[in-house]
Each structure stands twice: as C-alpha cells, then as structure tokens.
A and B are shown apart, each in its own frame.
Chain A
Amino acid sequence: MKTNEYIESGILELYVFGKLTPAEEQEVVARAAQDPAIQQELSRIEIAFEQYALAYGIPPPPGTLAGILRETGFGSGGAATDGVTTPGAAPVPPSNSGSWWSYLFAGLLIASAVGAYFYNNELNEREGELTERTEQLATLQNDCDEVRAENARLESTLSVFRNTDYSNIKMNATGKYEENAYIASVFYNPNDRTAYLDPLSLPQPPTGKQYQLWAIVNGAPVDMGVFDTQINTDTLLQQVPYIAEAQAFAVTIEDEGGVESPTLEEMIVVGNVS
C-alpha cells in the first residue's frame, strides 16, 4: 500500500487506540521507522489523542501521589504537592511600571500581536476548509467503494435472472400458511448444475427457528440446507446445493440448525418443477 493510502486507511488511529493485532502493530512500527511521513502523521495523531485524553481527565483521589512516592522510595518528600497544582497553567510575568518606552513597546507588541492574530485566523480558516474538503473526499470515496461493491453483487444477481438456462420455480404458500400468500423462488439450472434461492416475501422466522429448504426427488425429501431471511443486497440470492432430478421444492420452519426430515405441518411454501 502506498504511504498516503496507508495513512488514510485509519490504521494509525487504530494503532494509537491499541486495537491492532501484534502483527499489524509490528507493521506500523516498521513502516513508521522507514517512512518519515508515516512517523510524522503518527505523532500528530498521538498528540491530538493525548489532548483529548487530557481534556477529559478526572483528578485521582487525594493521597494517590503520596502512595506512589512511598512505593518508589521517595517517602514523604513530595506529598504536599498532591492534587493541588493545575497542569498547563503559565506563569504570569511581573507587570512593568512607569517608563514611557515600556508603553510604546507594549503598544507595538499589541499591534503586532493583533496583526498576527488576524493573519493567523485567515490561515486557520483556509486550513479548516481544506481539512473539511479532505474529509468530504474521504467520505465520498468510502460511499463510492460501497456502491461499487453493491453494484457488483447486483450484477451477479442480474446475470442469474437474465440467464435463460435457469428456470424459475415459484413456491407458493401452503397448508396453514396459505392465506398469508408468501412466495419464494428457486432458480434451477440443470446445464451447469447450479441452484439459487430467492426468499422473496418470507417473513423473519420465529425466535429459535430457521427455514429449511427441501427438494422432492421421486416423492422423497432431500435436505438443501437452512437459511435466514435477513434480506439485504448481500443475500438477494443465496446459492443452494444443486439436487438433480428434483420434481418439487419446499420450505419448512424448523428448529435452528435444521432437521433430518421435514415437519410437514410446518411447510410454508411449495412449488413443482414444471
């Protein structure tokens, strides 16, 4: 991976969060040692995160420092400073009295500080805009990758639909489920011996239950496996085992993991191969 892609992938952030495997951590350390750009980015991430952690610090209970000093052999020496000082406070310089040149100097300093302030604000604004654009670009790139992957999945689904070698065996609701009008389909291709299941309008199975697909061959059921109905673009079509000479397909509702022979009264849809 190129330096820039590596940096933008987010792996350095996960390194700082301690979320990488030992192998990935070693890779980060090795790449940072070789590549100054990675090293610099890493320490900027570390500094920013450090500021975050400092901002949300919670002062420990009094007496903690004293305990530490005792255990490290410094005895009672620094106990008095425990929990009193404020980190980051800058000392205030003594104020100047009197002489005219000190006022002049002060005026000049204020004027130049104000100038620098406005110049710097402008600069910060530009940099802020740039960061925002970079973020937008990363987000769009992310979306674009997702859409591309989804498109590839849909195209492969479409290729099944458009392939005339597949016959679409529609399964209709049956038995006690008949009035619900559920439908599902099996796409069946004897030429290259493949089959797909489309769960179409099957509802979520009850908790602890799963759907099981069967082929009927010479009047006997052959197990084609269990499936879930959580339909998203990943699982629009699910490939299922190809069973030769199937005369019909059916779906039953079974305990999770499936059963050896179908529970006929729990048959929800069935369809004959024409």
Chain B
Amino acid sequence: MSDSTTTMQAGEEQLVSLLQSRNDKGLILLYENYSAALYHIVLRIVRREETAQEVLQDTFVKIWKQSATYDAGKGRLFTWMSRIAKNTAIDKTRSKNFKASAKTDSMENFVSDNTTFSTDLRLGDSGLRRVVGQLDEKYHEIIDYLYFKDFTQSETSKALGIPLGTVKSRSRLALKALRALLQNEQFTLPLFFILSGF
C-alpha cells in the first residue's frame, strides 16, 4: 500500500508543479486524467448534459486560475478539484437561468437521478470499475447518496431507513471495504504489464 501511495503522490506533485508553473501540458494532463470523474459528479447535480459541459468548463478554468491556492498539506488534488466542481455545479442550480429553464424543460432532457452504479453508466476505466464493482451494494448506496446525490447525513438516514449514527459508521466500513478491494488488485496489474512486454 505505502509503495503505491508514494507513487501516486509523486505523480500528483509533478502535475501540481506543471499547473502552478502555468504549463498548458499540466492542464491537458489534468483533463485527460480527471475530466470523466469530475463530469460524472457535475452531471449528477445539474442533471443536464449541456449544462454539465458548461459547468465542467467553468470548473477547469477555476482550477487553472486558482491552482496557486491549492495546498497539498490540506488534502489531495482530486479532493480539492472535486469540491470546486461540486460547488460550481451547486451554484449553477441556484442561478435564475437554471431554475427558469428547469421549469420549461421536459423531463426527458434530464439524466435520471435514479441511476445506480450497477447498471448502464458509460465507463471511464473498465478495469478499475471491475474491481470497484465488487463492492457490496449497501456500500455503493451510502457513497451514492452522500457524495453523488449530495444528500445530508440526516437525509441519507431517512432515505435508506438507517439510524443517523449508522450513516457515519457505514461510510467508514464502505471505504474500508473499497480499500481492501483495491489493495488486493494492486500487484497483479503491474505484473501483467511486465509479462505482456515480452
């Protein structure tokens, strides 16, 4: 675990220094690696592809402009970026334009909010998804409600019919189970690349 953590952190430091030195390679690399994950977060909140694209663009522009304020001591780059994405999307849903057009739009233009991970999302990284997909359904559910649906702890507790305290403890168990799945896979992937090289 600690080896791969170090590798990931080294990669991230390089990316941050590219960004902070205003190198457009940094921006493109950032987009290639994270746009799909951030787009999913944004789409779940604004629920319309056209608006989501606009919000994603605004998000990357903000990330680019504010990259000097990113502090690695306070958390990872992705955590920081996903907060910017989420806030930009939430701001958008509060704007007058959004509310007005949401009223006149027919429902078919919306991405269904009932999408669950087990079904038909278009996939960014299918190998990773195969691993992560083994996670117990109740753990998918808690992450989905708290993070992607952006429910509060008490809304989540009501929606899932579980005590408030369980929301917290289940979040912990979900991430633990997720980490165990990811950890089990880590050695086999690089090995596959070594063998396929011959």
Contact = CB atoms under 8 A, between A and B. Distances in A.
Contact of A109 (B75, B170, B194): B194
Interface of A: 8-11, 13-14, 16-19, 29, 33, 42-61, 63-65, 67-69, 71-72, 74, 77-78, 81, 85, 87-88, 90, 92-93, 95-96, 106, 109-110, 113, 116-117, 120-121, 124, 127-128, 131-132, 134-135, 138-139, 142
B105 interface: no
A200 B44 CA distance: 46
B179 interface: yes
B14 interface: no
Which of A56, A61, A109 has the most chain B CB atoms inside 10 A of its CB?
Answer: A56
Nearest to A109: B194
User: Which bucket holds chain B's interface residue count?
Assistant: 35 or more
Given A53-B40, A56-B37, A128 B24 contact: no
A63 to B, nearest CB: 8
Contacts of B170: 10
Contacts of B31: 65, 68
Contact of B125 (A17, A44, A87, A142): A87
Given A51-B182, A58-B40, A44 B5 contact: yes
Interface of B: 1, 5, 8-9, 24, 27-28, 31-37, 39-41, 43, 49, 52-53, 56-57, 60-61, 64-65, 73-76, 78-79, 82-83, 86, 117, 121-125, 128-129, 131-133, 143, 146-147, 152-153, 165-166, 168-180, 182-184, 187-188, 191, 193-198
A128 B132 contact: no
Contact of A58 (B39, B82, B133): B39
